[in-house]
């Protein structure tokens, strides 16, 4: 009888270890996917000063737009976690959209090879960022499902596994992302 009891305890412990390892794997994927988003955001943030400097030489009366881009970029750099970063990046995307739209109002700027290259670089980064967000959100969905499945749900809470938040770009950005960014020359 003791062997049966110890055998049952051993099976429960082994199953707990298996569940824990599986959940750690899912959590690690989510963390890696978030780091991938961070890399793309850093590239985007690094591109912005070049874009501002290029635009600054052509647009004299658009100081408010330039300041808005700088301010939202700084807010995006300070944001922590998926929810805060998504909100900050939404604001930055709007400001960047206004900045890039200046190219239409200033033909000399639109014709600038440097501005055109920066627009192309920005469009490429936005595409990579969208892919990184999809990968992250997929990882979050798998992780959240894994910690909710029975009997893993029993162990997950006890072992400190909590729901993760999706990187939500908001409804306005979602609609904008459905159509790829256009680079007009």
CATH number at residue 113: 1.20.1440.20
166 CB burial (10 A radius; 0-12, 13-18, 19+): middle
Tell whether 63 is covered by a domain: yes
What's the rounded Cα separation, in Å, for the pair 85 and 91?
10
Tell whether 9 is covered by a domain: no
Confidence of residue 29 (pLDDT cuts 50, 70, 90): very high
The predicted pLDDT at position 180 comes to 52
3-class SS at 166? Answer: coil
What's the rounded Cα separation, in Å, for the pair 119 and 103?
10
The predicted pLDDT at position 184 comes to 45
Q: Which residues of 132-156 are buried (b: 16+ CB within 10 A; e: fewer)?
A: bbebbbebbeebbebbeeeebeebb
Do the beta carbons of residue 91 and residue 142 sit within 8 Å?
Answer: no
Tell whether 8 is covered by a domain: no
Instruction: Report the predicted TM-score, pTM, of the whole model to 2 decimal places.
Output: 0.73
Tell whether 127 is covered by a domain: yes
* Cα→Cα distances 170→7, 32, 93, 165, 174, Å: 51, 22, 11, 13, 6
For the beta carbon of residue 8, count every other beta carbon within 10 angstroms: 10
The predicted pLDDT at position 185 comes to 37
* 109's tokens: 């700027």
Residue-range definition of the domain harbouring residue 97: 15-178
The predicted pLDDT at position 170 comes to 59
* Cα→Cα distances 161→3, 32, 144, 147, 158, Å: 32, 16, 9, 7, 8
Tell whether 5 is covered by a domain: no
What's the rounded Cα separation, in Å, for the pair 51 and 56?
8
Confidence of residue 171 (pLDDT cuts 50, 70, 90): low
What's the rounded Cα separation, in Å, for the pair 128 and 131?
5
Overall domain count for the chain: 1
Residue corresponding to tokens 């499945």: 149
> What distance separates the 2 farthest-apart alpha carbons in the chain?
88
Tell whether 19 is covered by a domain: yes
pLDDT at residue 178 is higher than 60 = no
Which range of 47-61, 71-85, 134-148 scores highest in mean pLDDT? It is: 134-148
Tell whether 72 is covered by a domain: yes
> What would the pLDDT profile of 101-125 be if each residue is shown by its tens digit?
887 778 788 788 888 888 889 889 9
């Amino acid at each position: 009888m003791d062997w049966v009891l110890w055998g049952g305890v051993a099976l429960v412990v082994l199953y707990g270890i298996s569940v824990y390892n599986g959940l750690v794997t899912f959590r690690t994927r989510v963390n890696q996917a978030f780091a991938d988003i961070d890399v793309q955001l850093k590239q985007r943030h690094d591109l912005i000063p070049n874009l501002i400097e290029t635009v600054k030489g052509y647009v004299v009366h658009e100081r408010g737009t330039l300041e808005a881009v700088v301010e939202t970029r700084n807010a995006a750099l300070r944001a922590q976690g998926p929810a805060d970063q998504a909100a900050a990046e939404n604001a930055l995307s709007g400001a960047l959209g206004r900045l890039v739209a200046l190219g239409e109002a200033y033909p000399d700027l639109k014709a600038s090879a440097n501005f055109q290259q920066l627009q192309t670089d920005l469009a490429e980064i936005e595409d990579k960022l969208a892919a990184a967000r999809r990968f992250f959100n997929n990882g979050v969905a798998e992780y959240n499902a894994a910690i909710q499945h029975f009997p893993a749900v029993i162990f997950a809470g006890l072992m400190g596994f909590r729901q993760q938040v999706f990187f939500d770009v908001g409804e306005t950005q979602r609609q904008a992302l459905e159509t790829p960014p256009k680079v007009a020359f």
